[in-house]
Copies of this chain bind each other. A is one copy, B any other.
Amino acid sequence: MLEMKNVTSIYEDGTVALKDISIDLSKSKSIGIIGSNGAGKSTLFLNFTGVLKPKSGQILFRGKPLSYSKPSLREFRKEVGIVFQDPERQIFFSNVYDDIAFGLRNLGVSEDEIKIRVEDALKRVEAAEFSNKPVHFLSHGQKKRVAIAGVISMDNKVLFFDEPTAGLDPLVTKSVEDILLSLSNKQEKTVVVSSHDMDLIYNVCEYVYVLNQGQIIGEGKVEDIFLKNDLLKSSGLNEPWLVKIHKNLGYPLFKNESELYEYHNRMKNEQKK
């Protein structure tokens, strides 16, 4: 549905930010973009959402090159949303409800419909209990969830998440993980996540692109990518711990920890017999 073909992006000062990048988001419903600080992940997202126009190459949306005229960008963005890292830069209203409703009101959706969708979004990010507090009383994790709700209320087809768990505690991180999983599995959205948290990427994504100094230096299923030692090393990344114990302790590769524990218990029981 959304694809990037041979995109090169250049900063105003002439530095090459992205070099000849091709990414096809139809490869999976949950895609991870990993790379070190400054590898170009944010610039990539800005190109994908039509905020920046590539120097060369194309963004293809439903097979057609993206047009950068205002009306077509507007249509495009009804389908594509992004949650940025810092919630303080995406919340414009002191009132949680008004903020989540903002995008819908811009589209002229009726207030009745808005009410349903805002309340649904609040429920999905588990924000209902603090939704009538003013935003400046909320904690960082709560603001983050409001920002996410503001985007998922739009019911876009493709959702980008830039560092969705940075600065969040383990509990809130887990709840964000759950939101991402349910968006891609149950809601049929395409979810694209960039993160430094390899465990998050491993838990949430199926397909991964590795970005290094503005170039894609590897792509593949998440289980395959994290087995490539050289690739990870040269891009300054590390392995999720489930991969570590696979590589170093000889366990099969599991997608989540409960599978691992089940396997372990099964093996133990078998040995007993």
Q: A169's contact among B37, B170, B241, B260, by CB below 8 Å, is which?
A: B37
User: 1/0 contact trace for A223-258 toward B, CB 8 Å?
Assistant: 000000000000011100100110011100000010
Number of this chain's copies in the assembly equals: 2
**Interface: A51 (CB within 8 A):** no
**Interface: A17 (CB within 8 A):** no
Contact between chains at B237 and A261 (CB < 8 Å): no
A35: B residues at CB distance < 8 A: 169
A257: B residues at CB distance < 8 A: 244, 248
In this complex, what residue of B is CB-closest to A170?
A: B238
Q: Closest 4 CB pairs between A and B?
A: A241-B241, A171-B236, A36-B169, A38-B139
Interface-lining segment among A20-28, A58-66, A113-121, A160-168: A160-168
A residues at B contact (CB < 8 Å): 35-38, 85, 139-141, 163, 166-174, 196, 198, 236-238, 241, 244-245, 248-250, 257, 260-261, 264
Most buried by B among A168, A170, A237, A241: A170
Contact between chains at B170 and A237 (CB < 8 Å): yes
In this complex, what residue of B is CB-closest to A39?
A: B169
Most buried by B among A169, A198, A250, A260: A169
Having A249-B260, A250-B264, one finds 8 other A-B pairs with CB under 8 Å, namely: A167-B167, A169-B237, A170-B196, A170-B237, A170-B238, A173-B196, A174-B238, A241-B244
Q: A261's contact among B170, B171, B198, B248, by CB below 8 Å, is which?
A: B248
